[in-house]
Structure 1
């Protein structure tokens, strides 16, 4: 809010210290009012509001940005557009890395996070989730000309790349900690480049994350096994914003039942079985974590 636009207020005439107190109190109230207007109010978004949506830029099939053409594409970009149309808000894509996702929600830079954010109990203490909108499991990608890895245990003594700030890194550590050489990068595209050049033997993360790269590069292969806990991708919102979460939860149910989910999934992952990845629209997670319940 521009200070020049602040409304004129009738102030009782006082003298001496009372003037200073009145001025300080009035200015403090106006500053608080101005600052509060920069944060989304629950329920959010309201019709016509501007919403910062967190997306990746280098995940084929999910969210990709081509600077030369200024074009974005991917399942999550289409989901963002679908939500904006259904809820009548203006979506502004904001680029984030894996590590930036939760801090960006917490500091208010992002209102809605769609950047492959898996729902976990620990994260639900930091972020409020609506979802899931996609189900995944951990998988492994190798070069077709490289080593074969047919089960998780065969990653022992191999060099495997994954991303910092992800459940993928936690799963690798829990399953094979101390038995593999883990290379950590900030982005999946960086891990894939390490694999292409032979600096690592494999890349491991959520299955569909790998599929997007393998669809574009026939020299890469997603191995045919899954391991670890199920990854459930959800919409990340400001922690405690249950009212907004309930709005998105209702819309996600419509997204899953209207045919939009099926259309987008077939568009970006045409060779994948949708039944293995589509959540039950009648069994979405509650908007409050278990620890919040009496």
Structure 2
């Protein structure tokens, strides 16, 4: 009888251990250790055309993807050694802290609050918050024109959503879980505008030619960084070196033209890597 009770108990413990293992570590990853073993788990967006998009054949495309691959290669990991993990805006810090990704390259603005819990390398790009509206809507010319009862969509946990709430409290802000959901709501007339960074909006405008347009001028400056675990100083410095090499070699400009050149968006010069 004792043996019969013990066996199910052991099996239950083993099942629980396997479940915890499948869910990922609760500790941050060793980025350079993982790279030395030939494999990296990289977080990025899956729904942002031109930046981070998972294609129907499951391949990854976009500027963020190209930056992430260049960094991985610099660390000694080929594309075949990368596992891509979707990193929604509201989950990026959690994915890094819980060890579910080695680093995140996903339109990730460097902010003081985020730097309290993770580290950043970069920046690798400088963007600005803007607005996407329907092509036939001339009533929205900037953030100020939204305060007369217009409905604005952004993503929960994103820097653009936080800045709208702080700077334009009169705007009817609706927060969705993804920008693609906001685009669908804008298409259906459920919201009047979508706000995030201009390069992201340009990607959506290019994906749906003639349906949407950017309105007004950018009203913030967003420094995109590579998010990685707090205290990974050596890894952060190596990633900074990788970004610098990508810029200096011309690979950065080539990647941006390849991924965003057809969008009609005026491509900016590369940033200075500040080595956060």
Answer yes or no: same fold by TM over 0.5.
yes
TM-score normalised to structure 2 length: 0.83
Tell me which of 59, 62, 81 is aligned to 1:74: 62
Tell me which of 58, 64, 69 is aligned to 2:53: 64
Q: 5+ residue gaps in structure 1?
A: 1-34, 288-294
SS of the residue aligned with 1:142?
strand
SS of the residue aligned with 1:165?
coil
In structure 1, the partner of 2:154 is 162
In structure 2, the partner of 1:52 is 41
Separation in 2, partners of 1:247, 1:41: 13
2:142 maps to 1:151 = yes
Tell me which of 69, 75, 93 is aligned to 1:87: 75
2:247 maps to 1:260 = no
Render the CA deviation track for 1:179-234: whole Å, top value 9, x for unaligned. 11111001000001000000000001111110000011121001131113x11111
Query: Taking structure 1 as reference, are residues 150 and 44 closer, same or farther at Cα in structure 2, changes over 3 Å only?
Result: farther
After superposing on structure 2, the runs of 4+ consecutive aligned residues of structure 1 that deviate more than 4 Å are: 42-45
Separation in 2, partners of 1:110, 1:192: 27
Contact 1:105 1:113 (C-alpha < 8 Å) held by counterparts:
yes
2:239 maps to 1:248 = yes
SS of the residue aligned with 2:200?
helix
Render the CA deviation track for 1:18-65: whole Å, top value 9, x for unaligned. xxxxxxxxxxxxxxxxx99x8643645543431110011110001111
Contact 2:44 2:52 (C-alpha < 8 Å) held by counterparts:
yes
SS of the residue aligned with 1:234?
strand
Separation in 1, partners of 2:187, 2:30: 46
Q: 5+ residue gaps in structure 2?
A: 1-23
Query: Taking structure 1 as reference, are residues 145 and 83 closer, same or farther at Cα in structure 2, changes over 3 Å only?
Result: same
In structure 1, the partner of 2:265 is 272
2:97 maps to 1:106 = yes
SS of the residue aligned with 2:130?
strand
2:274 maps to 1:285 = yes
Query: Taking structure 1 as reference, are residues 158 and 172 closer, same or farther at Cα in structure 2, changes over 3 Å only?
Result: same
Separation in 2, partners of 1:249, 1:196: 39
Contact 2:29 2:101 (C-alpha < 8 Å) held by counterparts:
no
Separation in 1, partners of 2:47, 2:32: 31
Separation in 1, partners of 2:186, 2:197: 16
Tell me which of 118, 128, 145 is aligned to 2:109: 118
Separation in 2, partners of 1:42, 1:51: 8
The alpha carbon displacement at 1:150 in A equals: 1.4
Separation in 2, partners of 1:139, 1:249: 27
SS of the residue aligned with 1:279?
coil
SS of the residue aligned with 1:100?
helix
Larger radius of gyration: 1
Query: Taking structure 1 as reference, are residues 63 and 137 closer, same or farther at Cα in structure 2, changes over 3 Å only?
Result: same
Contact 2:53 2:62 (C-alpha < 8 Å) held by counterparts:
yes
